[in-house]
C-alpha cells in the first residue's frame, strides 16, 4: 500500500498529529496516535474539490492562514487538492476535466465557498455553465460536503442582494451538509472538521443548523473577557479612553450574546487576536440572520435592544447550544 | 478568421473570469474579457446605517481583504466630516501595509510563478544543498505516488519557462517558504486588525484597537522577518526570472496594452497628510503619441460605459450620475464588468501604474537602462519593488506610533463624528495592491441613499466601451504569441500579471430602485 506520509519520520508525523489535535480543538476527542493511524491507513491522500460560487475567496485565504499544520503541508502532503480555482495550476477545460474525473472516482470531500444565485443562474457562471448545476453535479459522489463561510452556510451577504443568494442546503435538498459559518470561515474550524472526518469517516455532532457543536456549542458572550463589564453595564463609548479599553462593546453594536461560536476562547489567526479583543463588536457572522438582520452593525438597534431586555429579565445565563 | 480560444475559468486569480482570444498566425488578433459572476452589494446597502458600509464592502473581496474597508471609511470620513487622528491613520496604514506584503507574496509565488517555471525540472537537480534536496524529495515523491495535484495538470512549459534545475528548485522552495511568510504577514496585521481576512478594527473616524507599546514591538519584530524575506528572496527571485528566460518577453513589452496609467495616490507619511508614499497622477500614451507627462488626477473625469455589459443601455456616466440596471438579455453584452474610462480613455491601474506615476527611480531604471518595456514582466518587477518601499514606510509608521502612544492625549478615533449626519456625501480614494480604488457615498436622513465603487479590476478587466475601444486586459493580449492554440500559456501569463480580482470588479444596482441618481463629486 502506498502511504501518504512515508516521507515524514514517525516522530515528526506524531508531532504533526498531536499539534493538529491541539490547534484544532480535537485533543479531547482524539489522541495523536488515533489521527496518525487514520491518516496512515488511507490508501492515498483524500481528494478535495473546492468550489467557489458567489464568494469573495476570503474563506480560501482563511484556509491558508493556519500556522500548524501550515499551508505547505496542507496543499502538498495532507490532502489532494484536485480542484480549487484559486490554487490549482490548470485553467479552463483542463481544470474542468480534473473535476469531472474526480467526481467519477468518488469518495472526495466537497467544500463549497460562496452563495448560489436564485434570481437567475446567469449571475454565476463557471466554464459557461450555471454554478448551481456544477454544485449539484459535484455533490453527487462526495463522501462529505462542507459549506464554508456565512454565504455557503446561510446565504450571508448575497442573500440580501438582487441576485438573491441562497445557501448550499437550498440547492442540495436532502444532502447531509456540515455548515461552517462565520465570515470568513474560521481556519481551525475548517481544518478540524476535515481532520475529524478523516479520522472517523463521519461528520462531527451538529446543531440544528448543521454546525459542529465542538466549535459552535457556546455563545461568543459566554467566555467574553468583557463579560464582567456587561454585567456591570459598563459600555464603551470612546475608543480613545484607556480606562474604557476593556469595557463591553454592546453600545457599539455587539451581538455576542446571540452569536454561537468559540471565538472568545479560540480567537483568530493562530490565537493572535479576535474582533472583540480588537475593540470591534461581534457582528454575529455565525448566525443565519447575518448580515441584513443584524444591521445596524455599529449602533444599538433591534438586536442589542433584545439583548438588553433579556439581560433585564435575567435571561442571559451561560447556556449550551444543543 | 483566426481560431477562437476560450479559457474559462481563468484560475489562480480572485473571482470568475473568462478570456476569449482569436489567434491568427500564432498571435492574438483580438480578445474579450468577461466577468461571469455578480452579487450586487450596493443595492443591499441602500437605506442602511452608513457605518455598515465599511464592514459590508470589505466582503467585496477576501483576497485583497479590507482594501474596500479603507476606501469606504475614507468616503465615510468625508461624508461625516470626521478628522482621523494621527494614531488612527498610523494604525490603518500599518494593517494595510501588512495586507500589501501578504498580497504581493501570494500573487507572485502562489498565483503566478507556476506560469513561469517548469516545476518538473526539479528532478534534474544534482546539487548538495540539504534543504533543496528535501524539496526535490517532496516533489519527486508526489510524482512517484501519482498525485501531483494541485501542481498539475498545467499548460506545457515553453521557451520562456525557467528550466534551470537550480533556479526552479529554489523557486519551489521559496513557493513553500512564502506560504509561511504570507501567514506571518496576516498574523502581523491581526495584532491590530483583529482578524484576517477581513480586518475588524477599521471604522469611520479612525480605529477601534487602542494599541500598547508591546503590540508595536511585536509587530515590528514580525516586520523584520518579512523584510528580510522580501529583500533577500522575493526581489532576487523577480530579478532572476526577469533577467533569465523572460528577458525577451520583458524587452518586447509583451502584455503592455494601451499604456495609459492612473494612480489615486495613498498612504500619509506625515501628520498633515501632505506627503504621500504614492503620489496621485495620470499618464496617457507612454508610447509617445501624447507625451509622457504625469498629469494631475481629477476625479470628475471618470465615467463608466455599459455598452457591452449586462446592464440597461445608457450613455457613459460619472459613477454617481448613472443608474445601472442589469439586463441579462442584451445579445452584444459579454461581461458583468463595466467599462470605466478617464477622459474617455481606458487606463491601467496597479503597481506598474503607481511606479510610473510616482516616477519610481528603480522602475524607471529598468526601462531606461535595461531596455524593459512596460508589460507583463515589468508588472511583476514593479510589484516587488513597491513591497520594499511599503516596508520601509511601515518602519517609519511604527516609529511614529511608538512616539505618539507615549504622549498624553493620544487618540485613535474622532468620537465627535461617530453618529451619521442627516445629509452628506463623500468620495474615498485609496491605492490597494491592485490599483486605483474609489468609493462614493451619499447619505440622506442618516441612511445610505447611494453607494458606488469603481475598483482596480473594473479598470483593468473592462470590456469594450461605446466607441468600441478594448479594455486594458483585452488590449494587452493583442499580439501575444500563441504558437500552439492548445497551450495558450502566454495568455494566462499576461492576464495574471495584472493580479485580477473579479469579485471586486462587479457590482450592480437593484432594478427595482431604477431612479436616475444625480450626484456630483467635487
Helix (H) / strand (E) containing A109: strand A108-113
Return the pLDDT at A9: 56
pLDDT tens by residue, B155-178: 888 888 889 999 999 999 999 899
User: In this structure, what CATH number is given to the domain that contains residue A286?
Assistant: 4.10.480.10
Does the distance separating the beta carbons of B153 and A98 come in below 8 Å?
A: yes
Domain boundary among A214, A236, A260: A214
Q: What percent of chain B has pLDDT over 90?
A: 65
**Residue of B146, B200, B405 to mutate when probing chain A, most A C-beta within 10 A:** B200
Report if residue A237 sits inside a domain. yes
Prediction ipTM score: 0.90
Report if residue B239 sits inside a domain. yes
B34 is catalytic: no
Return the pLDDT at A320: 62
A31 and A150 both lie in a single domain: yes
Return the pLDDT at B357: 95
Segments forming the whole domain that contains residue B22: 3-513
Interfacial B residues in 364-403 facing A (CB < 8 Å): none
Residue of B9, B39, B55 lying closest to A126 (CB–CB): B9
Q: What percent of chain B has pLDDT over 70?
A: 94
- CA dihedral A183→B390→B223→B172, nearest 10 degrees, is 80
With a CB cutoff of 8 Å and minimum separation 6, the contacts of B247 are none
Report if residue B287 sits inside a domain. yes
B434 is catalytic: yes
- Rounded CA Rg of chain B: 23
The per-residue pLDDT of chain B, averaged, comes to: 89
Report if residue A123 sits inside a domain. yes
A161 and A236 both lie in a single domain: no
Does the distance separating the beta carbons of A269 and B186 come in below 8 Å?
A: yes
Higher pLDDT, B111 or B222: B222
Return the pLDDT at A42: 56
Report if residue B520 sits inside a domain. no
A143 and A287 both lie in a single domain: no
A49 and A197 both lie in a single domain: yes
A146 and A236 both lie in a single domain: no
- Nearest-neighbour CA in chain A from B197: distance (Å): 6
Report if residue B418 sits inside a domain. yes
Give φ, ψ of B28 to 5 degrees.
-70, 125
Q: Which residue of B lies nearest to A242 if distances are taken between CA atoms? A: B210
CA–CA gap between residue B347 and residue B498 (Å, rounded): 12
Residue of B40, B55, B145 lying closest to A163 (CB–CB): B40
Does the distance separating the beta carbons of A239 and B415 come in below 8 Å?
A: yes
Cα atoms in the Cβ-side hemisphere of radius 13 Å centred on A94: 19
A265 and A197 both lie in a single domain: no
User: In this structure, what CATH number is given to the domain that contains residue A115?
Assistant: 3.40.50.700
Distance of alpha carbon B349 from the chain centroid: 8
CA–CA gap between residue A101 and residue A116 (Å, rounded): 23
Count Cβ neighbours within 10 Å for each residue of B303-339 and write b for 16 or more, e otherwise. Answer: bbbbbbbbbbebebbbbbbbbbbbeeebeebbbbbbb
> Terminus-to-terminus CA distance in chain A, angstroms?
41
pLDDT tens by residue, B92-137: 999 999 999 999 999 999 888 888 889 889 989 999 999 999 989 8
Q: Which residue of B lies nearest to A73 if distances are taken between CA atoms? A: B176
- Residue B420 is classified by DSSP as P
Report if residue A321 sits inside a domain. no
Q: Which residue of B lies nearest to A150 if distances are taken between CA atoms? A: B59
pLDDT tens by residue, B15-30: 778 888 999 999 999 9
Q: Give chain A's domain count.
A: 2
A97 and A158 both lie in a single domain: yes
Q: What is the mean pLDDT of residues B216-234?
A: 98
B398 is catalytic: no
CB B151 within 8 A of CB B114: yes
**Nearest of B376, B355, B331 to residue B472 by alpha carbon:** B376
Residue B437 pairs in a beta bridge with: B430
Segments forming the whole domain that contains residue A282: 227-312
Domain boundary among A184, A214, A244: A214
Q: What is the full per-residue pLDDT of chain A (322 aa) written as tens digits?
A: 233 334 445 566 666 666 666 666 676 667 767 666 666 555 577 899 999 999 999 999 999 898 887 777 766 677 888 888 887 777 788 888 999 999 999 999 999 999 999 999 988 888 889 999 999 999 999 999 999 999 999 999 999 888 899 999 999 999 999 999 999 999 999 989 988 888 888 999 999 999 999 999 999 999 999 999 999 999 999 999 999 999 999 999 999 999 999 999 999 999 999 999 999 999 999 999 999 999 999 999 999 999 999 999 988 876 566 6
Return the pLDDT at B486: 86
- Given a cut of 80, is residue B182 above it in pLDDT? yes
Please provide the DSSP assignment of A246-259 as one string.
TSB-GGGT--GGG-
B90 interfacial to chain A (CB closer than 8 Å): no
- Given a cut of 90, is residue B421 above it in pLDDT? yes
Question: Cell 473535476, residue?
Answer: A99
Its pTM stands at: 0.92
Return the pLDDT at B143: 83
User: What three-state secondary structure class fits A94?
Assistant: helix
CB B387 within 8 A of CB B415: no
Report if residue B522 sits inside a domain. no
CB A235 within 8 A of CB A248: yes
Give the count of Cβ contacts less than 8 A between chain A and B: 279
CB A179 within 8 A of CB A115: no
CA–CA gap between residue B444 and residue B448 (Å, rounded): 6
- Given a cut of 70, is residue B513 above it in pLDDT? no
Report if residue B275 sits inside a domain. yes
Report if residue A1 sits inside a domain. no
A191 and A49 both lie in a single domain: yes
Strand B447-454 and strand B437-444: the pairing is antiparallel
Return the pLDDT at A37: 67
Check the CA dihedral B513-B515-B516-B520 and report its sign.
Answer: negative
A177 and A51 both lie in a single domain: yes
- Nearest-neighbour CA in chain A from B157: distance (Å): 12
**Catalytic residue, candidates B12, B33, B54, B64:** B64
Q: Omega into B162 within 30° of 0, i.e. cis?
A: no
B91 interfacial to chain A (CB closer than 8 Å): no
Report if residue B350 sits inside a domain. yes
B455 interfacial to chain A (CB closer than 8 Å): no
Q: What is the mean pLDDT of residues B461-486?
A: 93
pLDDT tens by residue, B303-362: 888 889 887 777 887 776 655 567 878 888 888 888 999 999 999 999 999 999 999 999
Q: Which residue of B lies nearest to A114 if distances are taken between CA atoms? A: B39
Please provide the DSSP assignment of B332-355 as one string.
T--BSS-EEEETTB--B-SHHHHH
CB A251 within 8 A of CB A231: no
Check the CA dihedral A24-A28-A30-A32 and report its sign.
Answer: positive
CB B97 within 8 A of CB B393: yes
A60 and A207 both lie in a single domain: yes
Using left for φ > 0, alpha for ψ between -120 and 50, and beta otherwise, residue B95 falls in alpha
Q: What is the mean pLDDT of residues B62-91?
A: 96
B64 is catalytic: yes
A40 and A176 both lie in a single domain: yes
- Nearest-neighbour CA in chain A from B489: distance (Å): 10
- Given a cut of 70, is residue B146 above it in pLDDT? yes
3-state DSSP of B253-301? CCCCCCCCEEECCEEECCCCCCCEEECCEEECCCCCCCCCCCECCCHHH
A200 and A69 both lie in a single domain: yes
Return the pLDDT at B504: 60
CA–CA gap between residue B468 and residue A321 (Å, rounded): 58
Domain boundary among A214, A248, A264: A214
- Given a cut of 90, is residue B259 above it in pLDDT? yes
CA–CA gap between residue B453 and residue B435 (Å, rounded): 13
User: In this structure, what CATH number is given to the domain that contains residue B340?
Assistant: 1.10.645.10
Cell triple for B281? 497622477
Q: Give chain B's domain count.
A: 1
Does the distance separating the beta carbons of B180 and A70 come in below 8 Å?
A: yes
CA–CA gap between residue A116 and residue B396 (Å, rounded): 45
CA–CA gap between residue B43 and residue B153 (Å, rounded): 40
- Given a cut of 80, is residue B292 above it in pLDDT? no
Return the pLDDT at A95: 85
Amino acid at each position: 500500500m502506498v502511504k501518504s506520509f512515508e516521507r515524514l519520520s514517525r516522530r515528526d508525523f506524531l508531532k504533526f498529529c498531536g499539534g493538529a489535535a491541539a490547534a484544532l480543538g480535537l485533543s479531547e476527542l482524539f489522541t495523536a496516535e488515533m489521527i496518525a493511524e487514520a491518516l496512515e491507513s488511507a490508501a492515498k491522500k483524500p481528494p478535495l474539490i473546492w468550489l467557489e460560487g458567489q464568494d469573495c475567496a476570503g474563506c480560501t485565504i482563511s484556509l491558508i492562514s493556519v500556522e500548524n499544520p501550515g499551508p505547505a503541508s496542507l496543499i502538498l502532503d495532507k490532502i489532494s487538492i484536485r480542484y480549487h480555482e484559486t490554487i490549482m495550476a490548470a485553467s479552463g477545460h483542463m481544470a474542468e476535466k480534473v473535476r469531472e474525473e474526480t467526481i467519477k472516482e468518488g469518495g472526495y470531500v466537497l467544500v463549497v465557498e460562496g452563495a448560489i444565485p436564485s434570481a437567475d443562474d446567469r449571475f454565476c457562471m463557471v466554464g459557461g455553465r450555471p454554478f448551481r448545476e456544477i454544485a449539484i453535479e459535484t455533490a453527487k459522489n462526495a463522501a462529505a460536503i462542507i459549506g464554508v463561510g456565512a454565504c455557503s452556510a446561510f446565504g450571508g451577504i448575497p442573500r440580501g442582494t438582487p441576485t438573491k443568494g441562497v445557501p448550499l442546503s437550498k440547492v442540495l435538498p436532502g444532502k447531509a451538509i456540515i455548515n461552517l459559518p462565520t465570515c470568513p470561515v474560521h481556519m481551525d474550524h475548517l481544518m478540524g472538521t476535515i481532520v475529524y472526518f478523516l479520522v472517523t469517516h463521519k461528520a462531527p455532532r451538529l446543531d440544528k443548523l448543521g454546525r459542529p457543536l465542538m466549535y459552535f456549542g457556546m455563545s461568543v458572550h459566554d467566555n467574553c473577557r468583557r463579560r464582567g463589564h456587561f454585567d456591570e453595564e459598563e459600555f464603551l463609548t470612546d475608543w480613545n479612553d484607556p480606562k474604557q479599553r476593556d469595557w463591553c462593546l454592546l453600545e457599539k453594536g455587539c451581538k455576542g450574546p446571540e452569536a454561537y461560536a468559540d471565538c472568545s476562547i479560540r480567537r483568530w489567526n493562530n490565537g493572535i487576536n479576535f474582533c472583540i479583543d480588537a475593540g470591534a463588536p461581534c457582528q454575529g457572522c455565525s448566525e443565519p440572520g447575518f448580515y441584513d438582520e443584524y444591521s445596524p452593525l455599529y449602533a444599538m438597534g433591534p438586536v442589542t435592544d433584545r439583548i438588553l431586555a433579556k439581560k433585564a429579565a435575567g435571561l442571559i445565563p451561560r447556556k449550551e447550544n444543543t | 478568421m483566426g481560431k477562437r480560444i476560450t479559457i474559462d475559468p481563468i484560475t489562480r486569480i480572485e473571482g470568475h473570469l473568462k478570456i476569449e482570444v482569436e489567434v491568427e498566425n500564432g498571435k492574438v488578433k483580438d480578445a474579450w474579457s468577461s466577468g461571469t459572476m455578480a452579487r450586487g452589494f450596493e443595492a443591499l446597502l441602500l437605506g442602511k446605517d452608513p457605518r455598515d458600509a465599511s464592514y459590508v464592502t470589505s466582503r467585496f473581496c477576501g483576497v485583497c481583504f479590507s482594501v474596500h474597508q479603507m476606501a469606504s471609511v475614507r468616503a465615510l470620513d468625508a461624508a461625516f466630516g470626521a478628522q482621523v487622528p494621527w494614531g488612527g491613520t498610523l494604525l490603518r496604514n500599518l494593517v494595510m501595509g501588512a495586507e500589501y506584503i501578504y498580497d504581493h507574496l501570494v500573487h507572485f509565488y502562489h498565483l503566478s510563478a507556476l506560469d513561469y517555471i517548469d516545476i518538473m525540472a526539479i528532478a534534474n537537480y544534482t546539487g548538495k544543498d540539504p534543504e533543496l534536496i528535501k524539496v526535490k524529495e517532496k516533489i519527486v515523491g508526489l510524482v512517484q505516488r501519482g498525485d501531483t495535484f494541485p501542481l498539475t495538470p498545467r499548460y506545457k512549459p515553453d521557451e520562456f519557462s525557467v528550466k534551470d534545475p537550480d533556479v526552479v528548485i529554489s523557486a519551489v522552495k521559496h513557493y513553500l517558504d512564502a506560504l509561511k511568510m504570507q501567514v506571518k504577514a496576516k498574523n502581523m496585521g491581526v495584532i491590530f486588525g483583529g482578524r484576517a481576512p477581513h480586518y475588524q478594527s477599521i471604522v469611520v473616524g479612525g480605529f477601534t484597537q487602542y494599541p500598547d507599546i508591546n503590540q508595536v514591538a511585536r509587530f515590528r519584530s514580525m516586520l523584520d522577518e518579512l523584510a528580510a524575506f522580501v529583500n533577500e528572496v522575493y526581489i532576487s527571485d523577480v530579478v532572476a526570472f526577469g533577467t533569465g528566460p523572460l528577458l525577451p518577453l520583458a524587452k518586447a513589452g509583451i502584455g503592455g496594452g494601451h499604456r495609459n496609467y492612473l494612480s489615486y495616490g495613498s498612504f500619509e507619511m506625515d501628520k498633515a497628510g501632505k506627503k504621500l508614499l504614492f503620489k496621485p497622477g495620470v499618464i496617457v500614451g507612454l508610447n509617445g503619441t501624447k507625451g509622457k507627462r504625469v498629469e494631475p488626477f481629477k476625479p470628475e473625469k471618470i465615467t463608466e460605459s455599459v455598452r457591452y455589459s449586462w446592464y440597461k443601455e445608457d450613455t457613459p456616466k460619472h459613477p454617481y450620475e448613472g443608474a445601472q440596471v442589469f439586463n441579462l438579455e442584451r445579445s452584444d453584452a459579454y461581461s458583468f464588468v463595466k467599462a470605466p474610462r478617464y477622459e474617455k480613455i481606458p487606463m491601467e491601474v496597479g503597481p506598474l501604474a503607481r511606479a510610473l506615476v510616482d516616477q519610481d527611480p528603480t522602475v524607471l531604471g529598468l526601462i531606461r537602462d535595461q531596455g524593459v518595456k512596460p508589460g507583463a514582466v515589468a508588472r511583476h518587477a514593479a510589484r516587488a519593488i513597491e513591497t520594499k518601499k511599503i516596508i520601509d514606510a511601515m518602519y517609519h509608521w511604527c516609529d511614529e506610533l511608538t512616539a505618539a502612544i507615549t504622549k498624553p492625549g493620544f487618540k485613535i478615533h474622532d468620537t465627535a463624528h461617530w453618529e451619521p449626519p442627516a445629509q452628506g456625501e463623500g468620495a474615498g480614494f485609496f491605492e490597494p495592491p491592485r490599483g486605483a480604488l474609489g468609493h462614493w457615498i451619499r447619505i440622506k436622513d442618516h441612511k445610505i441613499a447611494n453607494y458606488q465603487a469603481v475598483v482596480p479590476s473594473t479598470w483593468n478587466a473592462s470590456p469594450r466601451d461605446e466607441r468600441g475601444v478594448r479594455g486594458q486586459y483585452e488590449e494587452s493580449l493583442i499580439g501575444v504569441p500563441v504558437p500552439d492554440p492548445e497551450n495558450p500559456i502566454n495568455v494566462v501569463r499576461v492576464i495574471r500579471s495584472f493580479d485580477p480580482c473579479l469579485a471586486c470588479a462587479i457590482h450592480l444596482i437593484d432594478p427595482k430602485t431604477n431612479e436616475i441618481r444625480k450626484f456630483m463629486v467635487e
